[in-house]
Structure 1
Amino acid sequence: VGSCIECNVFFEEEEGVQHVCEECGKLQPESGSWAVEQMAEVDRLESEGAHSEAADALLELFYTASDHEYSDWPFSWKVGERLEGLCRTHGLANQHVVFHIAHIRILQRQNGALATENLEQGIEIARRAYRPDLEMKLLQAHWNVVNWHDSPNQSLLDRIEEVQNILNQDLG
């Protein structure tokens, strides 16, 4: 669902289709048209082998496209798919986990849902990369959602304590 840039009337968005507002007649910009230069920069970074920087740029685009006020959802999905592929191909665990945390927060904000699939995928990424710090970030993001939504269960609290102990051992 999109809203008119002129009068804020809601309409159904379709990928690749420019919508004319039925209320005011204003032609709406095509999904992603606001990010042509940024996507060209991502292409350049990737072609130069700067994969981490390209992933960071895609994360910023994803945040903007999925912002609750801007909400260019068709473009956010395209960016998300590209980011997911880039992270998998080049082993970018940090950006990959941050992307899953963004999904956890978006689902909670949109409808109060608990994004357990994103949590599990993110934890798997963090564990494969031997990054308990990233697992802790995921658990804390999930904790914040669960704490807002309901009471956290004991297994979540236990896992947070286990990961904190691992992090403390690594520091010691």
Structure 2
Amino acid sequence: MPECIFCEEYGSDDLSEDCTICPDCGNPPFSGMMFDKKRKEEADRLETEGDLIGAFHILSEEWKSHTDIDYYDEEMATKILQWIDNLFERNPEMIEQKVSINLMRMQSLHYWGGHNEAIDAVEEALRIAKEANRPDLELKVLEMHGSIQSQRYGGIQNMPKYHDFCRYKKEVEARIQDS
């Protein structure tokens, strides 16, 4: 029998598949139960109407709400992230949003202890920005990454590969100045 996604690591009771509220924690126990399908329909409608930013906003807000401190539904968050990736595949010009979702992923992954995966998200955001010739976005990624690393290591100068980070940041700033 299934277990509550909130209680499973603490040994919850087995629940019936038609259970709507976990008796242990009082939350909807199964993945996707907090997702409003009308939000996906609205995002699809906005994309069809050409409002790509609006569609991204809805999906990214839903993704954030499924990966926050109080409610983490990995299965549903993964599904929403796939919808976002599909939106990007259909609309490759959404560079800022591609970088943005990777920064959101980085923050969430760091919070939940996935530090190596968070670095992967930073590298992906940098790759996207660089390939699009967007040094402004590269700088945004570096600044957010530096801020988080500063918090993790008690000062930015203590982060691993600090000198490489500074050199890259100066190169990006120079490219911005030259443009």
Q: Give the counterpart of 2:149 among 146, 151, 158.
A: 146
> By how many angstroms is 1:127 displaced?
1.3
Q: Counterpart amino acid of 1:101?
A: L
Give the residue type in structure 2 aligned to 1:57: I
What are the ranges of 5 or more consecutive residues in structure 2 without an aligned counterpart? 10-16
Q: TM-score, normalised by structure 1?
A: 0.80
1:101 equivalenced with 2:103 (yes/no): yes
Q: 1:137 to 1:88 in 2, by over 3 A?
A: farther
Partner of 1:61: 62
- Give the share of equivalent positions with the same residue, in percent: 24
Partner Cα separation in structure 1 for residue 26 and residue 112 of structure 2 = 28
> Which residue of 2 is the match for residue 125 of structure 1?
128
Contact conserved, 1:136 with 1:160, CA < 8 A, in 2?
A: yes
Q: Which structure 2 residues correspond to residues 11-90 of structure 1 after superposition, within 5 A?
A: 11=8, 21=22, 23=24, 28=29, 30-90=31-91
C-alpha RMSD of the superposition: 2.6
**Contact 1:126–1:135, Cα closer than 8 Å, also in 2:** yes
Q: After superposition, what is the alpha-carbon deviation per residue over 1:17-76, rounded to whole angstroms, capped at 9, x for unaligned?
A: 665635378763651543222111011112223223211221111111111112222211
